[in-house]
Structure 1
């Protein structure tokens, strides 16, 4: 598995260096969740997007995403999410609705997750997007993630824009730390390659920091 990730990393680095349309930035994010019932949670998040390189090195504010999602546990390890995302950009507000289905498999030393998503963007016309994300997570000490311990999380996601037939691929290695039974923080990078099948004409590298708070 380590060889596979090294191969993918080298492939993506080669793609970055061979293209001129490249940008980089930071994505700070805070996620809060509130337990409504034994099977339902209310999850809210706010994420800012800040560029520090876009054709030149300069700190530039891009947008803010605010989401509100209801998460329903359908089976022991499966969840159905539905909610909205509000994007604040250039003095305007964009609206998006979403539906996610999450499947989690817990093994001896690993936890694997699959997320199938469908999203609707509301503009002059409704734009549709499908998403699939695979995630694998492992404790760095022992077989499970205990309080005050680090863990590794790797994810690979594919996003398909139905209206303009555009594929985007995302690869994100993250290092997490469990602060308490309810709270954790993750640091990592995320590489995004847009229009991947026809021609790679846009690629981005993001530095991520995400705080998870369970109330």
Structure 2
């Protein structure tokens, strides 16, 4: 997909979002990502993410859930890789297990990078039948200074994702501002906007402020 097509997809998403008539839920998504290269072609990725919901009526912020995941990533070429992972979600009295598989393609251009991710997920929970979901995400990343990202520099990252659970479609738009602190540390701050249930004409909107800290253990 070219940069022009990617920009067009973001425009379509924004157009749909503007005309979505429903209440807007919001909150915070702090996340830590720990990665370690096991070999030249294998990497482990472990994450922990919490969710806090903002109640605009009571002006309160309440804890909602925590996700803990572990991923094994295998490179199959210069710009392709497969991920196999497991996620544990703890939400009130609920425990949800998720397994997932990703196929990733990175298109490195001279001044920017495009990333494609195709995913299939399986959900398991006591008392419920297993459910399944497919996902596709395209992301754009570019350094704000120069052609390549260097230390102590900022960059922008924008992603557009489509999630389908064979019943409803969710669309996400995630613009971030990142900073490469050191060779092994970078942080990203931005928004995670989610639009869902519009197929059934009961549109749901969620907007999260996301803060992610990436740490390399190598």
Common topology (TM > 0.5): yes
Q: Could you tell me the TM-score, scaled by structure 2's length? A: 0.90
Task: Provide the C-alpha distance between the structure 1 equivalents of 2:19 and 2:115, rounded to a whole number of angstroms.
Answer: 28
Q: Tell me the equivalent position of 1:137.
A: 141
Q: Tell me the equivalent position of 1:149.
A: 153
Contact 1:169 1:196 in 2 (8 A): no
Task: Provide the C-alpha distance between the structure 1 equivalents of 2:118 and 2:38, rounded to a whole number of angstroms.
Answer: 24
Task: Provide the C-alpha distance between the structure 2 equivalents of 1:125 and 1:118, rounded to a whole number of angstroms.
Answer: 17
Task: Provide the C-alpha distance between the structure 2 equivalents of 1:41 and 1:199, rounded to a whole number of angstroms.
Answer: 42
Task: Provide the C-alpha distance between the structure 1 equivalents of 2:54 and 2:18, rounded to a whole number of angstroms.
Answer: 19
- Segments of structure 1 that go 5 or more residues without pairing to the other structure are none
What is the number of residues matched between the two proteins? 210
Distance 1:200 1:56, change over 3 A: farther
Task: Map 1:164-175 onto structure 2 (within 5 A).
Answer: 165-175=167-177
Task: Provide the C-alpha distance between the structure 1 equivalents of 2:57 and 2:65, rounded to a whole number of angstroms.
Answer: 18
Distance 1:153 1:8, change over 3 A: same
Aligned match for 2:32, one of 7, 30, 33: 30
Q: Tell me the equivalent position of 1:201.
A: 203
- Mean Cα deviation higher: 199-208 or 105-114: 199-208
Contact 2:84 2:102 in 1 (8 A): yes
Contact 2:13 2:171 in 1 (8 A): no
Contact 1:193 1:200 in 2 (8 A): no
User: Is 2:159 the counterpart of 1:161?
Assistant: no
Q: Give deviations 1:97-133, integer Å, cap 9, x for gaps.
A: 0000110000111100100000000122110000000
Q: How many angstroms does 1:55 deviate by?
A: 6.5
Q: Tell me the equivalent position of 2:22.
A: 19
Q: Tell me the equivalent position of 2:44.
A: 42
Task: Map 1:52-91 onto structure 2 (within 5 A).
Answer: 52-53=54-55, 57-91=59-93
Q: SS of the residue aligned with 2:38?
A: strand
Q: Could you tell me the TM-score, scaled by structure 1's length? A: 0.91
